[in-house]
Structure 1
Amino acid sequence: MKVLKYLLIFIPISLIGEYMHLSEPLIFIFSALAIIPLAGLMGESTEVISYYAGNRIGGFLNATFGNATELIIAFFAMRAGLFDVVKASIAGSVIGNILLVLGLSMLVGGLKYKTQYFNQKVIDVTASMLLFAVIGLTVPAIFTHTVNAKLLTTRYEGLSIIVAIIMFAIYILSLVFSFYSHKDLYATETTEESKPEWSLRKSIIVLVVATILIGIESEVFVGSVEPMTKAFGLSEFFVGIILVPIIGNAAEHSTAVLMAYKNKMNVAIEIALGSSLQIILFVTPVLIFLSLLFSPMSIIFNAFELVALIFSVLIANRIASDGESNWLEGVQLVAVYIIIAASFFIL
């Protein structure tokens, strides 16, 4: 986190660059570098608020704000009509968390410890929920891809809303399951928790300010996406599925790898898989609902995104089946991610 805070200098740099109408690729890079530390500050302030608010409210806050940065970026992209970028960022977040973050965590942790163990029951629940969530995303897409293209009307926007409502309801029920009815399943060994350096008032102020600045930077970032893709010959799919998730979750990704290095694989895996689950069950439905304010966005993904999502979740379920990990599994996950990234890069 201390290293990331040095990147805060890019907040004024990006805003000055936007005001002075610098080249769009430079503005894209500056705004991206500004968002990364802001996302870290948002996560850090949320953790401090959780300490003062207690486990239940704290757990809810962490679950809600866990992917707030990506939600904000996606909102501005959606408002700009970049629906392909938004949907690619949803798929990319899930794929990135499962393959890249989990893979790096297992690799880094495995290089220090021969075999690492985690709570198989908890991870099984999360992995099973992920499988359900991906089914919820794929069924509408498979349905629309198998019917006559002439029949693709606004009725599918209604289908997307129905799926979004069901997913959001499942998300609420999953919170009830983890924080109330089956909270004993998620109980961890009590350790002496040091008092955070920030006060409750300071953490709330930091959270509010970071959220506002992320909103400003996200608008700048999204505004430079199309010119940047043309300048570098990149596809919007690559930006959405690779760059946006990495930028929005850099701080969270580094935390997962650090936890694995400290042999806390339960935390590392829960960050990777839990974040993926939030993206599908919380962020996606909210974006569908918000799109009704502008131009309704469907929940239909292209065939390659669907294949990547399905295989990623199947891998997550396979890894969760034995309750242990090693560095070779990490290498395999990262290798698959690189293959997928390379495929989108050449589009």
Structure 2
Amino acid sequence: MQVLLKEIRHNSLLWLLALVPVVLMAAKTRPEAHTLLFVLAVLAIVPLAALLSHATEAVAAKTGDAVGGLLNATLGNLTEMIIAITALHAGQYMLVKASIAGAIVTNALFMLGASFLIGGLRHRVQEYNRAGGRLYAGLLLMATVALLAPSAVADLEHARDPALMQKLSVGLSVLLISAYALGLYFSLVTHKDLFASAEHEEAEAPWPLGTALVTLFVVTVLVALVSEIFVESVQKAAESFGMSPAFVGFIIVSLVGAAAEMAVAFSAARKNRLDMSVSIALGSASQIALFVAPVLVLLSYVTGPKPMDLLFWPGAVTMVMIAALTASFITNGGRSAWFIGALLIFIYAIFALTLYVVPPAPQAVG
């Protein structure tokens, strides 16, 4: 417990944990204050996501390379998963699908671009392991094709039957999870030497296993409680800010859920450990596409008011495809400079502005 308290004292981001009881209390005393609850929930999720990240890394460090890598990959996007499951249970499928597409684009463009920019401002040219970038970019491209398939056939007359679209989505989900498992086996077992990098030698001492496990459990419960408040307040709060549910899911949820990972990726880039930054950004993006999205489809049969499919609105599919192709092209060289990062951020800003000004119609996503 002393380790946890020391971490909180020395990490200013974790001082926002004080807002967790505040938002829980405000939800009880002022349930009608949707805008206030939305802002407090967003600010409270950020430090909780950071604690989840620390706890996950500590547990993974105690279990060996293969199991540790699997845990990191599986729990790395736990915050986004909890928010999406909460929205799924509430039947807010637009928010769920927007958060899936937004997380992929945010990680592949904004997180990667900001890492290149931050690292490039300190180091003129940076190099990283191309093997990791190629693997994650390849997985992301494959997943994007799977997300594109339902949209490609949606206008066909015989494909308009919701039952057929759900059947296709379940089949695609199984394929995506299988590809994700094979990718983990490839990178963690049969060819792990290709993905080794020097930064692991400088890793800080992890938390004690008991502290990490307790933290993981408690913070997961708190994230679930705060996420419920967030989802309940998001619609009316978004209206007061002039934002659509699609914009909130695509931009706000994605940035908040990835805040902890971004902090680690940016810090690594400043230290010229770009292997770690690329691995976090593209690894997280491919994990969302290959694991989180299909798991949410399967979970919708249990927790949602109706099954969810993988039919995204055309704009989301286009943005995800462009992000995947851009990330694949950029990371193929194994070298980076600050201007490349700036270009990636500009592409992300173009998507955000477009989605804010011209949101998709509510009936575009079911």
With normalisation by structure 1, the TM-score equals: 0.96
| Alignment pair present for 1:212 and 2:234 | no
Q: Deviations over 1:271-314 (max 9, x none)?
A: 00000010011101110111001310010111111111111111
Q: Deviations over 1:118-146 (max 9, x none)?
A: 111221121111111111111111111x3
CA drift of 1:249 comes to 1.0
Deviates more, 1:31-40 or 1:49-58: 49-58
Q: How does 1:1-347 map to 2 (within 5 A)?
A: 2-22=11-31, 23-144=33-154, 146-148=155-157, 151-189=160-198, 191=201, 193-196=203-206, 198-293=207-302, 294=304, 295-346=306-357, 347=359
CA drift of 1:150 comes to 8.3
CA drift of 1:231 comes to 2.1
Q: Deviations over 1:155-191 (max 9, x none)?
A: 1111100000110111111111111111111223362
| In structure 1, C-alpha distance between the alignment counterparts of 2:158 and 2:41, rounded to whole Å | 39
Contact 2:319-2:351 within 8 A present in 1 as well: yes
Deviates more, 1:177-186 or 1:284-293: 177-186
Residue type of the alignment partner of 1:323: G
Residue type of the alignment partner of 1:327: W
Gaps of 5+ in 2: 1-6, 360-366
| In structure 1, C-alpha distance between the alignment counterparts of 2:157 and 2:164, rounded to whole Å | 14
Residue type of the alignment partner of 1:124: R
After TM superposition, the runs of 4+ consecutive aligned structure 1 residues lying more than 6 A away are none
SS at 1:234's partner residue?
coil
CA RMSD of aligned residues (A): 1.4
CA drift of 1:98 comes to 1.2
Q: Deviations over 1:242-292 (max 9, x none)?
A: 000111110111111111111011110110000001001110111011100
| In structure 2, C-alpha distance between the alignment counterparts of 1:151 and 1:78, rounded to whole Å | 22
CA drift of 1:29 comes to 0.7
| In structure 1, C-alpha distance between the alignment counterparts of 2:331 and 2:111, rounded to whole Å | 15
**Counterparts in 2 of 1:297 and 1:45: CA distance versus 1, 3 Å:** same
Q: Deviations over 1:217-253 (max 9, x none)?
A: 1111101011112222211110010000111110111
Gaps of 5+ in 1: none
Contact 2:102-2:251 within 8 A present in 1 as well: yes
Aligned pair count?
Answer: 345
With normalisation by structure 2, the TM-score equals: 0.91
**Counterparts in 2 of 1:149 and 1:301: CA distance versus 1, 3 Å:** farther
**Counterparts in 2 of 1:150 and 1:344: CA distance versus 1, 3 Å:** same
